[in-house]
Structure 1
Amino acid sequence: MPAMPDDDPPFLILRRDGERVVVRGAESWASGPHGKAATVWAEWGWTDGRLTARVDRYGFYTLFWYEKDGVVAVSPSLVKLVAEGCDATQDARALAVFHRIGIFVNDDTPLKHVKTLPPGGVLTWDGTGAVRVESGATVPGTQEISREGAVDGMITHFRSAVARALEEHTGPFHVPLSGGRDSRHILLEVLHQGRRPEACVTFHHNGAVPNREAMAARALCERLGVTHEMLGFGRPRLADTLRALVMTSLCADEHAQMMPLNDYFLGRDAVSFDGIAGDILTNPDDSADWFMGLSRKGDWKGIAQGMIDGHGRVVSQSHWGKGAGPIYSPGMDEEVRDYVAPAIAQYADAPDPYQMFWMFHRTRREINFVPQAILGSARHVFCPYLDPEFVEFCISLPYSVTKDQQLHNDAIARAYPEVADIPYQEGFPEPRVRRNSKLRKLGGVRDAAQIVAALGGESRVRAFLGFVRFPDKLTRHHGDIYALHALSLDGLDAAKARRLLDLAARLRARRPGRLISDRYEGA
């Protein structure tokens, strides 16, 4: 997929004017080539008085669409739609869900009149009547398979997925490498198939001292003789958060930490791999067993409440624990629970309903912005875990073979025994975290002043103080995200949306020049 600058995303706006349709923007657009290894993509075309827009099989490319008062619009950027005049009325319920579980569910967005296309979604409009949206989503059955068969199947299907990508792209590529399973599996498999990346890239925020994730990545690269570049220099906290919020169209409370990768690929004519969905497809998390028990009872509200409570603990300081909901959308707990519960219940017949919900509502709606936006500065991003054969195999596995959370470990160890002794990140000691320097803190004050000046309303002083003081209820990281999210939406209209895009572009132009803090020269 081609790079998509923060300040000039593509769009198409169609307005019914009597017997004709007034067209503004790109009449046709595609996110990139749709070869057999393409798994995250979108496109639209206005031809012979008919609009057709579609997204990939699992809907992992977020394409926003708008309809109101005879106007229909599409864009990969919600902010761009508003900047071009689309109604920015907020969706209070969708925002309340976001404040409580950190994601937007179904096809909701922060705005009432803007939605996303569903998995395999196809939108059509003939210039009259309402927009029609069809979904290709399905719920899998459960296959009969042993644990040994599941391990072998994972190896085989993933090997085929990577082979399709390498067949489609015969040139150089990079592999962002974490200390976990997903990216390690990608690296080991491309090497198994006789291809070597130009470099593996790992970001962390601990200066010259690598954290344990970077240690695990380096240990693997040294064993394999692969060039490894660490991006460890300190970052402008608020600037990265604002840039990430605009890139993700105000639809995610993550990804600011990944801005070093975005900067790394900016200006490079590079191809990258990404391990999106590898975790949720291969291992449930620590809550899965509890949620499976609730799903067998049909207690969907119980699962929804568990998600709300869990997210609240993650984003809060220990003395608070209630999350962002009571701060930004008070009094809506029950409404959120009643709305999220049926979104989970639609997967009642899947082998693991919780896995399916997380796959198609968090991974599809939030983590998807990594290949689409954060790595969008690369020329193309391959996502082999979203290969249809691999996905359909994994989501139909019985819970009994995935519940111990070791399936991916076992598959990697069996396929590549020569590196089975290298621990993942949890096997390395966590080093001491470096404190921010006074110079970086002054830079944060400058960024806060610039952001508030561009976006703040009447309470600019209070907003500024909120960014330079430590938040009293949420963590520093999440306090910044939710505060900036609320500030961006407050009074959002075309003029403010343009200021958001312009501010993100200015912050990008002022991005840190130092990126690679340490480099290992491979063979």
Structure 2
Amino acid sequence: MKRHPQTPSSSAAQFCWVIVCGYQYRSHAAPPAAPYIDLRWDNGEVTWDGLSACTLGLPIAGPDGNGVYARWDWDGHRLRVENDRLGFQPLFIYHDAHRLLVSSSILQLIRLGAPNRLNYPALAIFLRLGFFLGEDTPFSKIQQIPPASTLTWAAGKLALERRPQPPVELNTAPRNTLSDDFIALFRQSIRRRLPTTDDCAVPLSGGRDSRHILFELYTAGQRPTCVTMQGSPLAKHDESDTALALSRRLGLPHDLVPQARSRLRQEYRKNLLTEFCADEHGWFLPTTDYLSRTYATVYDGIGGDVLAAGLFLTEDKLRLMRSGRFTALAEQLMPFEQTLARILNKPVYDRMPREPALEAVANELKRHADQPNPVGAFYFANRTRRKIALSPFAMISGPLVHAPFLDLELVAHLRGIPAEQLLDHRFHTETIARAYPRLADLPYFNGKREVVQNFAYTARASLDSLAIGLQHKRRRLLRPGYLFPRSVRTLLQTDYGLEFTLRIAPRILYLLQLDDWCDTSVATTTGEQWALET
């Protein structure tokens, strides 16, 4: 078991580190260049730049479109772009009458000249809901390519074909049969994704998804390394102990990765790596960095929580969906309106009204209403695909990332399970115990994710936010005078430090960074006329 260098252990030592380093924030480096192709059509001639062929991710054996991947091929006359059936590999596009840009990075498209006008309706949803819907991005002229798409471009003409998706069929089999089929299909998924080298890793938590992957790899004769991030300085309980118990039982190597000293420095890098499309994942960045530089193959549990464990599913949400009360459910999913109104500059807030955002979320909820698990279907198609996917498929760079829960045959099975079977949130736990009875005694992490006061850590966030604010002179999105009083209050009022560090500071940072990348013709903080298109 390897342990990495630790942050100073005592509060006094940490606070001294904060004082020394708090004003030395220098993380304005642009994100690394991403693969792209740039096609121009002018006066009947084509010019191009970038990569003529590129494959991101890997197609997997099984049904057509299996795996997580996107690829393009340019033969000098015709471009063909396609992606996996679920659309989990991020790939973005900008086009107009004379130009087509395709890249795995929104920020790469902007560097190449794609318009960076803000997408106010989409941001109105993101800042309230926490993720984008459909193919929206923060920028009005840039979109993510939809799932199961084939895009062709020739002689300046763009065509997009959506390959048909098989319907989700309700599965009314008994619970044990549903579980047995889950076991068999997951086993098949792992066999389709066995590593070809020994340097493979499973990021292991105290939960179910990574445990299921680990146990099945072990059953298949593999001996991956377990990688776990140590508990946050603000966490009352540390689930790394639960993860260590698993690796010890199986006799597997286990690497522990420490938390970063500065939460906001990680948030800063995360915002760039996730193309401003995620409000989570910053805390996980030390682990993705370690995985990127250490292993050739990584297994991620994306999708297992929503599809097999009923994450976000409650009786109330299911009742609202079944009764068609989509607006009421949308209201429930978008709290904290007063916080948003206070943090945004007034001209910006006026361009992002709540009512159209509510209507858009309600319409998206309605689109999934006839699914066996409508709540899970909504989150899987939007939150899982557009936000959670950015952790394994954008933040990890280098290793091949396998996502066993996204195998198409397994997804079809899990999507067909009635929501009522998942309401107790025990279906996945029972399935793992049924599949691996000799390991069923190993406990899960059931400690509540409570937070505790840590003055040195929250003080670091305060001083980092002040340093960042001093370096970002433009304040078109953030309300004038919002940052500095709250940063100082964190130093003076201990209880406020948690709220500032966990909720307020990351939003401030997101807006300041987005300000650097969006169109400079936006209105200033003095309330000038807005010039951006929606």
Both structures adopt the same fold (TM-score exceeding 0.5): yes
Instruction: Name the counterpart of 2:278.
Output: 252
Residue in structure 2 matching 1:178, options 183, 201, 205: 205
C-alpha distance after superposition, 1:134-176 (max 9, x if no partner): 254454121231111111111111111111111x635331110
**Inter-partner Cα distance in structure 1 for 2:77 and 2:158:** 14
Structure 1 pair 474–132 and aligned structure 2 pair: CA distance change class (3 A): farther
**Inter-partner Cα distance in structure 1 for 2:501 and 2:234:** 23
**Inter-partner Cα distance in structure 1 for 2:265 and 2:161:** 36
Given that 1:118 and 1:137 are in contact with CA atoms closer than 8 Å, whether structure 2 keeps it comes out as no
Instruction: Name the counterpart of 2:493.
Output: none
**Inter-partner Cα distance in structure 2 for 1:469 and 1:74:** 43
**Inter-partner Cα distance in structure 2 for 1:233 and 1:121:** 39
Q: Describe the SS at the equivalent of 2:147.
A: coil
Matched, 1:408 2:428: yes
Residue in structure 1 matching 2:215, options 161, 182, 188: 188
**Inter-partner Cα distance in structure 1 for 2:92 and 2:392:** 17
One-letter amino acid matched to 1:368 = A
Q: Describe the SS at the equivalent of 2:68.
A: coil
Matched, 1:202 2:221: no
**Inter-partner Cα distance in structure 2 for 1:12 and 1:285:** 38
Q: Describe the SS at the equivalent of 1:348.
A: coil
Q: Describe the SS at the equivalent of 1:261.
A: helix
Instruction: Name the counterpart of 1:19.
Output: 44
1:452 deviates by 5.0
**Inter-partner Cα distance in structure 2 for 1:84 and 1:78:** 10
**Inter-partner Cα distance in structure 2 for 1:344 and 1:262:** 32
1:322 deviates by 4.5
Structure 1 pair 219–336 and aligned structure 2 pair: CA distance change class (3 A): same
Residue in structure 1 matching 2:388, options 367, 376, 394: 367
Structure 1 pair 380–402 and aligned structure 2 pair: CA distance change class (3 A): same
1:361 deviates by 0.3
Matched, 1:290 2:316: yes
1:379 deviates by 1.7
**Inter-partner Cα distance in structure 2 for 1:135 and 1:106:** 16
Instruction: Name the counterpart of 2:359.
Output: 338
Instruction: Name the counterpart of 2:416.
Output: 396
Q: Describe the SS at the equivalent of 2:223.
A: coil
Instruction: Name the counterpart of 1:380.
Output: 400
Instruction: Name the counterpart of 1:449.
Output: 467
**Inter-partner Cα distance in structure 2 for 1:58 and 1:48:** 29
Matched, 1:92 2:120: yes
Given that 2:204 and 2:226 are in contact with CA atoms closer than 8 Å, whether structure 1 keeps it comes out as yes
Structure 1 pair 354–210 and aligned structure 2 pair: CA distance change class (3 A): closer
**Inter-partner Cα distance in structure 2 for 1:302 and 1:138:** 30
1:130 deviates by 4.2
One-letter amino acid matched to 1:94 = A
Q: Describe the SS at the equivalent of 2:187.
A: helix
Instruction: Name the counterpart of 1:112.
Output: 140
Residue in structure 2 matching 1:65, options 90, 93, 98: 93
**Inter-partner Cα distance in structure 2 for 1:398 and 1:12:** 43
C-alpha distance after superposition, 1:248-270 (max 9, x if no partner): 10001000010111221243242
Residue in structure 2 matching 1:272, options 298, 304, 326: 298
Given that 2:73 and 2:80 are in contact with CA atoms closer than 8 Å, whether structure 1 keeps it comes out as yes
One-letter amino acid matched to 2:484 = L
C-alpha distance after superposition, 1:170-205 (max 9, x if no partner): 5331110011100011111111112111x2111134
Instruction: Name the counterpart of 2:6.
Output: none
Structure 1 pair 416–458 and aligned structure 2 pair: CA distance change class (3 A): closer
Tell me the TM-score normalised to structure 1 length: 0.83
Structure 1 pair 430–33 and aligned structure 2 pair: CA distance change class (3 A): closer
Which stretch shifts more, 361-370 or 11-20? Answer: 11-20
Counting only pairs closer than 5 Å after superposition, residues 351-366 of structure 1 correspond to structure 2 as 351-366=372-387
Percent identity between the two aligned chains: 30
Given that 2:343 and 2:508 are in contact with CA atoms closer than 8 Å, whether structure 1 keeps it comes out as no
One-letter amino acid matched to 2:467 = A
**Inter-partner Cα distance in structure 2 for 1:207 and 1:31:** 35
Given that 1:204 and 1:231 are in contact with CA atoms closer than 8 Å, whether structure 2 keeps it comes out as yes
One-letter amino acid matched to 1:89 = R
Counting only pairs closer than 5 Å after superposition, residues 399-478 of structure 1 correspond to structure 2 as 399-426=419-446, 428=447, 433=452, 435=454, 437=456, 441=459, 445=463, 449=467, 453=471, 455-457=472-474, 465=484, 468-469=487-488, 475-478=500-503
**Inter-partner Cα distance in structure 1 for 2:308 and 2:341:** 31
1:418 deviates by 2.0
Given that 1:218 and 1:228 are in contact with CA atoms closer than 8 Å, whether structure 2 keeps it comes out as yes
Q: Describe the SS at the equivalent of 1:30.
A: strand
| Unaligned segments of structure 1, at least 5 residues | 313-320, 497-523
Structure 1 pair 251–397 and aligned structure 2 pair: CA distance change class (3 A): same
1:371 deviates by 1.4
Instruction: Name the counterpart of 1:134.
Output: 162
1:223 deviates by 2.1
One-letter amino acid matched to 1:457 = R
One-letter amino acid matched to 1:116 = Q
Instruction: Name the counterpart of 1:103.
Output: 131
Matched, 1:231 2:257: yes
1:383 deviates by 0.6
1:332 deviates by 1.4
Q: Describe the SS at the equivalent of 2:82.
A: strand
Given that 1:268 and 1:378 are in contact with CA atoms closer than 8 Å, whether structure 2 keeps it comes out as no
- How many residue pairs get matched? 476
Structure 1 pair 477–207 and aligned structure 2 pair: CA distance change class (3 A): closer
Counting only pairs closer than 5 Å after superposition, residues 147-186 of structure 1 correspond to structure 2 as 147-166=175-194, 169-186=196-213
Residue in structure 2 matching 1:40, options 61, 64, 68: 68
1:133 deviates by 4.7
Structure 1 pair 301–220 and aligned structure 2 pair: CA distance change class (3 A): same
Structure 1 pair 165–350 and aligned structure 2 pair: CA distance change class (3 A): same
Structure scoring higher RCO (CA < 8 A, sep ≥ 6) equals: 1
Given that 2:318 and 2:375 are in contact with CA atoms closer than 8 Å, whether structure 1 keeps it comes out as yes
CA RMSD of aligned residues (A): 3.0
Q: Describe the SS at the equivalent of 2:193.
A: helix
Q: Describe the SS at the equivalent of 1:267.
A: helix
